[in-house]
Amino acid sequence: MTDETSEENTQEAQPHVRPTTSTITLANRWDHFLARWGVNRSGHRVEPGLYALGNPIADSPVFVTANYTLSFDALRSALPGIAGYILVLNTYGINVWCAAGKGTFGTDELVRRVEATVLHEVVNHRLLILPQLGAPGVAAHEVKKRSGFNVEYGPVRAADLPEYLKTRRATPEMRQVRFTLRDRLVLIPVELVHVLWPMLIAAIALFLIVGPLATAGAVVAVLAGVVLFPILLPWLPTRQFSTKGFILGSAAALPFTLTAFLSEPGTALWLRVGWALAYLLGLPPVTAFLALNFTGSTPFTSKSGVKREMFAYIPVMAWTFGIGTVLTIAFTLFRLLG
Amino acid sequence: MASESVSATHASVGSANASACARTSMVSTSVNTLEYNPELCINCGMCSIVCPHAVFAPDGHVAQLVRPEACMECGACQRNCPTGAITVDSGVGCAAAMIYAALRGKKEPICGPESESESEPEPESDDCCTPGCCCS
């Protein structure tokens, strides 16, 4: 049921309900693993449509989700022993929140999918339970007007659904997004995959042209940005991602700066200071830039805030990186020629 | 950055945009694009329900803007406000997507809500999920 990508479901209006369970199989886990590592990024899809979880009756609740396997599986696995219907929207393999922001998890698709599955004949009530994070794309009052179904926003996390179903009220905790260490850790693989090739190419080039210390410095700066930064995010000082990144990047660059300064006591002082400066200026902006790019992976950065931050700090990154690079090239040439 | 002073239902805004908002009793802050007009609020409670950062809170006869600085401009409140009391320039707070969009000569990253057009959404897997994007 995992890697299905077949055609849009627009056949004759007849209730067509597929069975599903709340069990996560080994195959599901393998699929989740591949998704986390960015393998076949948009291919982790569930067939859109209506699913029966357990043995639902006409009174059973209807849950709505995206056709991304991680979203669908999070929902069904949170509902063991609960009978209900799952209405899967076609979000082209994108999770609920991103798809809602993009509009694919939206009013139009929801109304269309309700009609295509003839939901009003399957259930005797007129209530859809949506994940709260679907709200940026769905206007509840419009869905009501166009389909007759009421939209009820459940909790942010599917795991809170059983508790929610008991009281039909989400606590303030259930309504707020979190960004726990675990949430941040699961993002690291895909961050790593994204930088892998550029990092390897840069490392090889640096190793051949400049030397092992520069290679190690570059790799450490990149890893600080994509591995350490997500882990340390809440504890790094300052508010903006770029400044957090510069601070972490400076800490990561410090050993290389000191090594460059201290390792060859015989050479001229200006040369040692120059090399040290090359590391101190060239490496932190690499980490800072990757840190800035992590903004999109977090659940609390705003468009206007990120834009402001980009205008303020990308020039600083460009200048420091540029000066560091020029120094490195100059001193490498000097070493080769002199 | 300077003025985040939003307290009551009626306009109490920082000096930066005080003049602009005094007329319309609009509540906003200079840290983001969220604007709320309590005069249009019918107290349906949707904004408090959909906001993932508890920016709005239900109270008495109108919704209260209690944590405007926590707004991430996802647009959920605006989309679900039946009276248009809330406006926000919503979009994705993603530097990677903005850089990617800029490099490809597009004005806005695709991750943000498509404009108000009712057109059929298209699968644009690569466009949305630029490196570092939220789509994980």
* B38-75 confidence digits (pLDDT tens): 999 999 999 999 999 999 999 888 999 999 999 999 99
Q: Are A59 and A168 found together in one domain? A: yes
In this predicted structure, the answer to whether residue A230 has a pLDDT above a threshold of 90 is yes
Look at residue B103 in the predicted model and tell me its pLDDT.
Answer: 85
Banded model confidence at residue B27, pLDDT cuts 50, 70, 90: confident
Of B73, B90, B131, which is closest to A194 when you measure between CB atoms?
Answer: B131
- Residue A73 DSSP label: H
Angle at CA A22, nearest 5°, toward A18 and A23? Answer: 110
Look at residue B110 in the predicted model and tell me its pLDDT.
Answer: 53
In chain B, alpha helices (H):
18-22, 46-50, 76-80, 95-103, 125-128
Banded model confidence at residue B125, pLDDT cuts 50, 70, 90: very low
Look at residue B96 in the predicted model and tell me its pLDDT.
Answer: 87
Banded model confidence at residue A4, pLDDT cuts 50, 70, 90: very low
- Report the distance separating Cα A216 and Cα A199, nearest Å: 11
The alpha-carbon radius of gyration of chain B (Å, integer) is 17
Q: Are B44 and B64 found together in one domain? A: yes
Q: Are A283 and A172 found together in one domain? A: no
Residue A327, H or E segment: helix A303-337
For A155-179, how does the pLDDT look when each residue is reduced to its tens digit (9 = 90+)? 999 999 999 999 999 999 999 999 9
The domain tally of chain B equals: 2
In this predicted structure, the answer to whether residue A10 has a pLDDT above a threshold of 70 is no
Banded model confidence at residue A336, pLDDT cuts 50, 70, 90: confident
Nearest CA in chain B to A132: B50
Which residues constitute the domain of residue B44?
15-87
Mutate to test the interface with B, among A5, A227, A290, A304 (most CBs of B within 10 A): A304
Residue with tokens 């991103």: A98
CA distance readout (Å), B47 to A46, A213, B13, B124: 31, 54, 21, 30
Q: Is A5 helix (H, G, I), strand (E, B) or coil?
A: coil
Nearest CA in chain B to A177: B52
B129 with A94: Cβ contact below 8 A: yes
Interface of B with A in 6-65 (CB under 8 A): 31-33, 46, 49-54
Low-confidence winner among A2-16, A22-36, B64-78 (lowest mean pLDDT):
A2-16
B49 with A294: Cβ contact below 8 A: no
In this predicted structure, the answer to whether residue A331 has a pLDDT above a threshold of 90 is yes
Pick the residue with more confidence: A189 or B1?
Answer: A189
Mean pLDDT, to the nearest integer, of B103-118? 53
Establish, for the pair of chains A and B, how many residue pairs have beta carbons separated by less than 8 Å.
Answer: 174
- CATH for A48: 3.40.50.11600
β-pair type (A127-130, A62-66): parallel
Q: Are A264 and A328 found together in one domain? A: yes
Instruction: Tell me the residue type at A337.
Output: L
Angle at CA A160, nearest 5°, toward A158 and A164? Answer: 115
- Report the distance separating Cα A244 and Cα A241, nearest Å: 5
B32 with A139: Cβ contact below 8 A: no
CB of A89 within 8 A of CB of A64?
yes
Q: Are B34 and B64 found together in one domain? A: yes
In A210-240, alpha helices (H):
212-223, 229-232
- Shortest Cα distance, chain A CAs vs residue B53, angstroms: 5
Q: Are A147 and A172 found together in one domain? A: yes
B133 with A98: Cβ contact below 8 A: yes
Q: Are A104 and A192 found together in one domain? A: no
> Strands across the sheet with A150-153, in order?
A17-20, A49-53, A84-89, A62-66, A127-130, A150-153
Helix axes A241-262, A269-282, angle to 10 degrees: 160
Q: Are B75 and B35 found together in one domain? A: yes
In this predicted structure, the answer to whether residue B105 has a pLDDT above a threshold of 50 is yes
Q: Are A77 and A196 found together in one domain? A: no
Mean pLDDT, to the nearest integer, of A98-109? 95
Low-confidence winner among A329-338, B6-15, B90-99 (lowest mean pLDDT):
B6-15
The answer to the question of residue B117 being in a domain is no
Task: Report the share of chain A in percent with pLDDT over 70.
Answer: 96
Look at residue A76 in the predicted model and tell me its pLDDT.
Answer: 97
In this predicted structure, the answer to whether residue B106 has a pLDDT above a threshold of 90 is no
The alpha-carbon radius of gyration of chain A (Å, integer) is 26
**What is the pTM assigned to this prediction?**
0.85
CB of B121 within 8 A of CB of A103?
yes
Look at residue B25 in the predicted model and tell me its pLDDT.
Answer: 64
Q: Are B25 and B67 found together in one domain? A: yes
CA torsion through residues B86, A176, A137, B135, sign: positive
At A38, phi and psi to the nearest 5? 70, 20
- Report the distance separating Cα B18 and Cα A218, nearest Å: 48
Q: Using an 8 Å CB-CB cutoff, list chain A residues near B51.
A: 175
- Shortest Cα distance, chain B CAs vs residue A312, angstroms: 12
For A236-259, how does the pLDDT look when each residue is reduced to its tens digit (9 = 90+)? 999 999 999 999 999 999 999 999
CB of A320 within 8 A of CB of A281?
yes
Look at residue B16 in the predicted model and tell me its pLDDT.
Answer: 37
- Shortest Cα distance, chain B CAs vs residue A70, angstroms: 9
Average pLDDT score over chain A: 94
ipTM of this complex? 0.88
- Burial (Cβ within 10 Å: 0-12, 13-18, ≥19) of residue A83: middle
Low-confidence winner among A50-64, A124-138, A142-156, A258-272 (lowest mean pLDDT):
A258-272
Of B80, B89, B132, which is closest to A297 when you measure between CB atoms?
Answer: B132
Q: Are B96 and B80 found together in one domain? A: no
For A303-320, how does the pLDDT look when each residue is reduced to its tens digit (9 = 90+)? 999 999 999 999 999 999
Residue A248, H or E segment: helix A241-262
Which residues constitute the domain of residue A187?
183-337
B89 with A136: Cβ contact below 8 A: no
Q: Are B64 and B107 found together in one domain? A: no
- Report the distance separating Cα A8 and Cα A89, nearest Å: 11
Banded model confidence at residue B114, pLDDT cuts 50, 70, 90: very low
- Report the distance separating Cα B61 and Cα A65, nearest Å: 33
Mutate to test the interface with B, among A8, A241, A303 (most CBs of B within 10 A): A303
Tokens representing A270 are 């200006």
B49 with A307: Cβ contact below 8 A: no
Q: Are B65 and B105 found together in one domain? A: no
In this predicted structure, the answer to whether residue B15 has a pLDDT above a threshold of 50 is no
Residue with tokens 């957090």: A244
Helix axes A284-293, A303-337, angle to 10 degrees: 150
CA distance readout (Å), A297 to A107, A186, A196, A325, B93: 25, 11, 18, 29, 9
